Chain A
Amino acid sequence: MSLWRQLARGLRALTHRSAADRDLSDEVEHYLDQAAAAHRAQGLSPEEALRAARLELGGVTGVKERVRGYGWENTVEVLLADLRYAARRLRAEPGFTAVAVLTLAVGIGATTAIFSAVNPILFQPLPYPHAGRVLMIWDIGPDGSRLEATFGTYQELAARSRSLAALAVMKPWHPTILGAAEPERLEGQRVSAGYLKVLGVPPAIGQDFQAADDRPGGPSVVILSDALWRRRFGGDRAIVGRPITLDGGSRVVVGVMPPGFENVLAPSADLWAPLGYDMSQGRAWGHHLQMVARVRAGVGTDQAKRELAAIASSPVSDFPRAAWAALENGFRVSTLQSDLTEGVRPALLAILGAVLLVLAIACVNVTNLLLARGVRRRGEFALRAALGAGHGRLIRQLLTESLLLAAVGGVVGMAVALLGVRALLALSPPGLPRASAIEVDGFAFAFGLGITTLIGLAFGLTPALQAARGDPQGSIEHGSRRTTGGRRHTRGALVVAEVALALVLLVSSGLLLRSLQRLFEVEVGFDAAGLLTMQVQTSGERFADDSSRLRFFAQALDAVRRVPGVTQAALTSQLPLSGDLDLYGVHFDPAPSNDPGQDRGTFRYAVSPGYVETMRVPLRRGRLLGEQDRAGAPRAALISESVAKRRLPGLDPIGQRLRIGPADSEPYTIVGVVGDVKQVSLALNEPDAVYITGAQWHFPDASMSLVVRGRGDPVSLVPAIQRAVWSVDKGQAIVRVATMDDLLAASEAERRFALTVFQAFGLVALVLAAAGIYGVLAGSVAERTREIGVRAALGASRGTILALVLRQGMALAALGVAVGVAGAAAATQAIAAMLYGVSRLDPATYFGVIALLAGMAAIACAVPALRAARVDPAIALRGE
């Protein structure tokens, strides 16, 4: 039997329904005619003949119905009829439909939005061929924390490893591009030659870096991103092979990356140049390079990890190692994806859990609405059952209705999802990996469609089964008496579930809120209020020699200090809590006998005199750095209290000598001890720091941060400060302008992000749970009007009736709270990693949330309770 013919004929019948019906009518009429004619031929009168023919046929309508019933198109027709009927029913109850659709839209929309965000980050592989083979490799510090790799380690691994197909190190690069258009500061990366081979994405035009490009003084070449190529060079393919002007020098473009290339390690990087690492700088052993590798095909990642560990533990004389990069603790190796997502994973998983709770609450609420509606429609179902509709038919009708409802909710939900994804991106923490890949894509759409269907079936089934179970006769008979039966228990259970789920969400957001409060109470060790910060970056050929760079910064600082309104200003090579991580090994000379050693990196601050004063870090002993600590003068250093206490226990730190970085570098003498400062984040306690003047550091830093205090609002000083810097040299970029308070807030961006989302979800859950309690009680009061009337007639006071309804509602809420507390105690394990200074069983949070829920439940109960109390017994009883 030809499937095609079946399909084609069926479709024709569907699309030309009236023609098909006319054909059938004509055929049946003709049959009747012929039969009647045959009877007439046997001698019957025309009327009798017609009657006999009709009898033989067995009813024209019946025959037509039977013939029409054949074929797949008939199933479609019945479905369409069901859909039309369902749509009519939904239109007839706009209030119910609106509430249900909105509730579902919020649930489906929020879930789809969160899924859109979480899917590319956590679940989809990175957009590289065999992305699972790309590894991120970190050095491990003595305390077990991860450290960026040193160039020395990179050279050793590149030479010794056999399991890696490619290995690369890279660091950020901020060149300024010159040309016909205005100078523009770009983000880029300096990479070793194997970088694009590690990612597995070659340039679309031109070619990749050659190994020979990557050496100090090597050819000045650059690879552009597709976006930069189109923006600055109009997508001209002839650019390859031509020089462009960067930082006052020229670099030849050797390649352009493909348009879809996603550089997850530096998402806003627009160009790449060879690292050209200069070992003579004395920085070969600085922990400041990120290292990635691609495992050779056919080699497992575990095998590669074992090989790296073996190399770490077996130094060879060809590759002597610095003491602080001796790899004594091996490497920390993980896939690039898990490394990137490590920071946000707990927050994202918690948010995913939270949105599923919201979805569950939304579903429970709609099920509740449907059940309430089912009660109102009992009469209708009873009638239909009595007229011969089978259980299957009734269930199918109800499922059609709930699927339609879910579909409409899903469509509106997609709009919610589109908005939600935008809101999420606006809220998202700055370091969110793969933020550019977050969109409501086909995956998210399929996901939304999937949950919509599941929801439609799930919440359609409960009321459908309840309706179908009903005994038609009983329902018709008792339809007017408003009896309440077992279905009230179902609805009660749903309300309990709703309250419990809401409590879990609210407790979680409460705990996050308290964590954030605790964090912002943390002493940072300096005065963040009224402190303005910005970074000044130097680039260009005029800084070829070290002294010109130092001179520029000194002149710029003088100019800034002269700005009216500026009271204090200083420069520093790195800012605490800004994401800067410039760590060095610190070694005492002579080493004290009881020095526990360098167990983690020490933050190195190359500052201008006046930095500690501007930050208002307290001086504990000795003196601060001053103008006398210039180049050529005896080298002076300040250390943090933590270094003094831990590294020099029982010794007077003043006068001790230490080396920062290379063991053969010139030592500094400690002249003072200053207070500890929070450096990485508010939650982390890593206070070791050493301060020296920029003039006495081994080399001038290319970018320095300005810290400025002034009279009035510091932000209003920004334009004047920028003018002051540019009055010295117009070509230097000023970036990262922010108040210290902004930096503090940003340092907790991930927690804040999770908190904002949880709070939004918690609010939705609260409203939905309130609506659920209200709905159940309102329905129950309406059903029990007669009973309440009888009670009132028998002398129950308004107070008694009020209490009766309130008790019913509050009992449900209390049960929900009990279940929810148990649930929250278990579920908050998921957010334990994000909590700070607060137990996940924090009683204050739990009591607060319970009080909130109880208050909300009381309000939701009050309205139906008051309505019940106002029932006039005479009217209630007469009404029946």
Chain B
Amino acid sequence: MLDVRVTPGAAVDQSNTDVIQGTLDMLILKSLSLQPMHGYGIARRIEQISRGVFKVNPGSLLTALKRLERAGWLDAEWRQTENSRRAKFYGLTRAGRKQLEVETADWTRRVSAVARLLKAEG
């Protein structure tokens, strides 16, 4: 009866308005560029660094992590936590690092283009 499916490969969930469309992947990769983290840690970090501007939808985050892992940009590792639960830690792979550079460069190009446009209009 349940008909909740996401088209595979969709970049970002439509319902997520908290993160700018198309940037979630880049933000995740950036967060992980310093050290491996678990899902909640990534969400927290994005919120903190953006000073609360971006709120990450957990469903979108976990789906994105699965997708990035499938794409080979992340690798995951299960670690035991202090209260003996299992936690999945994600880290960047070499391909992931490269992808981050590509996306960062792309983003910078877009932002400066938008900035130029806005200046010209203003």
Residues on A lying within 8 angstroms of B by beta carbon are 1-2, 5-6, 9, 23, 26-31, 33-35, 38, 56-58, 62-63, 65-67, 69-72, 74-75, 78, 384, 387-390, 393
Contacts and interface: CB of A to CB of B under 8 A. Distances in A.
A70 B6 contact: yes
A62 B8 CA distance: 17
A9 B5 contact: no
A9 B68 CA distance: 12
Contacts of B26: none
A62 B62 CA distance: 12
B70 A71 contact: yes
Contact of B71 (A1, A27, A389): A1
Contacts of B78: 23, 26
A540 B116 CA distance: 108
A66 B4 contact: yes
A75 B70 CA distance: 16
A69 to B, nearest CB: 5
B58 A56 contact: yes
Interface of B: 1-6, 8, 13, 38-41, 43-44, 57-60, 62-63, 66-67, 69-72, 78, 81, 83, 85-88
Chain A to chain B: the 5 pairs with minimum beta-carbon distance, closest first: A34-B40, A63-B59, A66-B59, A69-B5, A26-B86
B66 A71 contact: yes
Nearest to A392: B3
A72 to B, nearest CB: 6
Nearest to B40: A34
Contacts of A62: 4, 59
Given A26-B86, A29-B85, A30-B86, A390 B3 contact: yes
B62 A28 contact: yes
A27 B85 CA distance: 9
Contacts of A70: 6, 8, 63, 66-67
Contact of A393 (B3, B8, B81, B87): B3
Contacts of A66: 4, 6, 13, 59-60, 62-63
A384 B1 contact: yes
B41 A63 contact: no
A31 B42 CA distance: 10
Contacts of A29: 85
A2 B85 contact: no
A34 B41 contact: yes
A63 B70 contact: no
Contacts of A65: 2, 4
Nearest to A37: B40
A23 B63 contact: no
B85 A33 contact: yes
A60 to B, nearest CB: 10
Contact of B81 (A2, A30, A35): A30
Given A65-B2, A65-B4, A30 B39 contact: yes
B8 A71 contact: yes
A26 B88 contact: yes
14 contacts: A9-B69, A26-B86, A30-B39, A31-B39, A31-B40, A31-B62, A33-B85, A35-B40, A58-B58, A66-B4, A69-B4, A69-B5, A71-B66, A390-B3
B9 to A, nearest CB: 9
Nearest to A8: B70
B76 to A, nearest CB: 9
Given A57-B59, A69-B6, A75-B8, 17 more contacts: A1-B71, A2-B71, A5-B71, A27-B39, A27-B62, A30-B85, A30-B88, A35-B40, A56-B58, A57-B58, A58-B59, A65-B2, A67-B63, A69-B4, A69-B63, A70-B6, A71-B66
A26 B86 CA distance: 6
Contact of A389 (B3, B13, B67, B81): B3
Nearest to B85: A30
A147 B59 CA distance: 84
A57 B40 CA distance: 10
Contacts of A6: 70
A30 to B, nearest CB: 5
A75 B63 CA distance: 16
Given A56-B58, A66-B63, A30 B40 contact: yes
Contacts of A69: 4-6, 63
Contacts of B62: 27-28, 31, 63, 66-67
Contacts of B69: 9
A352 B41 CA distance: 69
Nearest to A2: B72
Contacts of A57: 58-59
Contacts of A33: 83, 85
Contacts of A38: 40, 44
Given A58-B58, A67-B63, A384-B1, A72 B8 contact: yes
Nearest to A27: B88
A542 to B, nearest CB: 86
B5 A63 contact: no
A27 B1 CA distance: 25
Contacts of A26: 78, 85-88
Contacts of B83: 33
A38 B62 CA distance: 19
A74 B5 contact: yes
Contacts of B2: 65
Nearest to A35: B40
Given A27-B62, A62-B59, A74-B8, A34 B38 contact: yes
